[in-house]
Amino acid sequence: MRVVFLAPSYPPEMQEYTRGLAEVGAEVYGIGDSAPGSLPKKLRGYLTDYLAVPRIMDERDVVARASAWLHGRSIDRVLTNWEPLVLLAARLREAWGVPGMSVDTVRGFRDKQLMKERVAAAGLRVPRSRRVTSPSEAWAAAEQIGYPLVVKPIAGAGSADTYRVDDPKELESVLARTARVPEVSVEEYVTGEEFTYDTVSIGGRPAFENVAQYLPKPLEARSEQWISPVIITVRDLSQPKIEEGTALGRRVLGALGMGDGFTHMEWFYTPGGEAVFGEIGCRPGGAHLVDQMNYTADVDLFREWARVSCWNSFEGSTQRKYNCGIVFKRAKGNGRITRIEGLGDWLERCGPWVMDEQLLRPGTRRRDWKQTLVSDGFVIVRHPDWDACKRMAFLAATDITMYAE
């Protein structure tokens, strides 16, 4: 089993997938833009060979260099778990005749408007939306869809340039702020709670399923710096509300022609009891969501993803034992972290339920909270009982304070 794996060292969790591939018996051929000498020693042990390319986003260049490098060696899989490279992986598959999702299928997971069109064509509920390229088109779309609205870039990530718009006055100012974005989507604002639906799938059928709740929803978490965003995996997927989302999610996988591997979907649960599609990627969620899923079921999804991708089999546990919460912290002030208050008490109170604690230590420079969800670090807790898990997570949100002043 020869696997080309794109970006095996960056983002850092990709090293875990590389390990997984090696552990299930694949020969791993890595392609990335990190210099070979900079790869961690452990990672090098999992790689059969590595090609460093100058520009990993330059698709034509990477296809040409990789083809020359392989020199006729046959390849069985081309894989990636990093969103910006999912189309490149599909291009390489098509160029070399390797099985897996086609470029057209992957576009359905990449282009937000196309994605919504395909999901809606399957009779599933998506927000009403229009793709617009000028202010006059935006005004016409707003008229048609009605307020409140969301205005966001077609090729967005990390809630950048995403705004809620409640009336024409706000639309005017948001259009001024998004003037440099070439193409935006004007959407119906869906009220309600927001969740993920994550899978590791074989031929579009989930071998592992997960739901997590955003507290609060990402758009709110990213508009106020004082918020400590919390995300909790839901242990009990058999609640009627959650089942609305998993049922929607399974049908979305079918509508988009999902193949093998991770998916990460976002959906809303409205006050009227309806599950509404948000967006989906054919890759895992970021910001340690895979760690949370691993803690939820005591499973190693880094390895099980590899087994699914190479051998179409999943051997991990799917029994959900815990709700698992992550809490991201943002320091007060700018510059370097000076102190952390409340951490010792919190660790003591939560005891054995704490799974991880990676807050930036004093002396470290603060991160830009708008750029990274992980912000100035995080803690992870789990508990079999939802309320207990949520209490510990919210306690970390309110009682741990980081200072950079």
Ligand X SMILES: Nc1ncnc2c1ncn2[C@@H]1O[C@H](COP(=O)(O)OP(=O)(O)OP(=O)(O)O)[C@@H](O)[C@H]1O
Q: Which residues bind ligand X (CB under 6 A)?
A: 127, 150, 152, 156-160, 162, 187-190, 194, 217-219, 266, 278-279
Nearer to ligand X, 76 or 188 (CB): 188
Q: In this complex, which beta carbon is closest to ligand X, that of residue 116 or of residue 383?
A: 116
The CB-of-188 to ligand X minimum distance in angstroms stands at 6
- Collect contacts of 157-160 with beta carbons under 8 A, ≥24 apart: 157/83, 158/222, 158/371, 158/373, 159/218, 159/219, 159/222, 160/370
Q: Smallest distance, Å, CB 275 to ligand X?
A: 13
Instruction: Look at residue 217 and give the partner it binds from ligand X, Mg ion, none, a contact being a CB closer than 5 to 8 Å depending on partner kind.
Output: ligand X
Binding map of Mg ion across residues 188-227, x = CB under 5 A, - = no contact: ----------------------------------------
Q: How far apart are CA 24 and CA 300, in angstroms?
A: 12
What's the rounded Cα separation, in Å, for the pair 117 and 107?
12
Tokens of 135: 């202010």
Strand order in the sheet with 77-79: 49-52, 27-32, 2-6, 77-79
Considering the complex, what minimum distance in angstroms separates the CB of residue 161 from ligand X? Answer: 8
Which amino acid, one-letter code, is at 291? D
Residues facing residue 165 across a β-bridge:
149
Contact stretch for Mg ion (CB under 5 A) within 50-58, 124-132, 264-272, 385-393: 264-272
Report the residue count for the chain: 405
Phi first, then psi: give them for residue 3, nearest 5 degrees.
-120, 125
Least distance to ligand X, CB of residue 196, Å: 9
- Distance (Å, whole) CA 337 – CA 402: 7
| Residue 64 contact among ligand X, Mg ion, none, beta carbon within 5 to 8 Å by kind | none
**Smallest gap from residue 194 Cβ to ligand X (A):** 5
Measured between its terminal Cα atoms, the distance across the chain in Å is 53
Listed residue (324, 117, 110, 151) closest to 235, CA to CA: 324
Cβ of residue 317: shortest distance to ligand X, in angstroms?
27
List the beta strands (DSSP E) in 154-270: 163-165, 184-188, 193-202, 205-215, 230-233, 261-269
User: Binding pattern to Mg ion, positions 110-149, x when CB under 5 A?
Assistant: ----------------------------------------
| Nearer Cβ to ligand X (147/189) | 189
The rounded distance, in Å, linking the Cα atoms of 222 and 158 is 9
| Nearer to ligand X (CB atom), residue 100 or residue 278 | 278
Query: What tokens appear for 221 in the block?
Result: 């978490």
Q: Which is nearer to ligand X, 6 or 221 (CB)?
A: 221
The minimum distance between CB 110 and ligand X, in angstroms, equals 11
In the window 15-74, what residues touch Mg ion (CB under 5 A)? none
Q: Which residues of the chain form contacts with Mg ion (CB under 5 A)?
A: 266
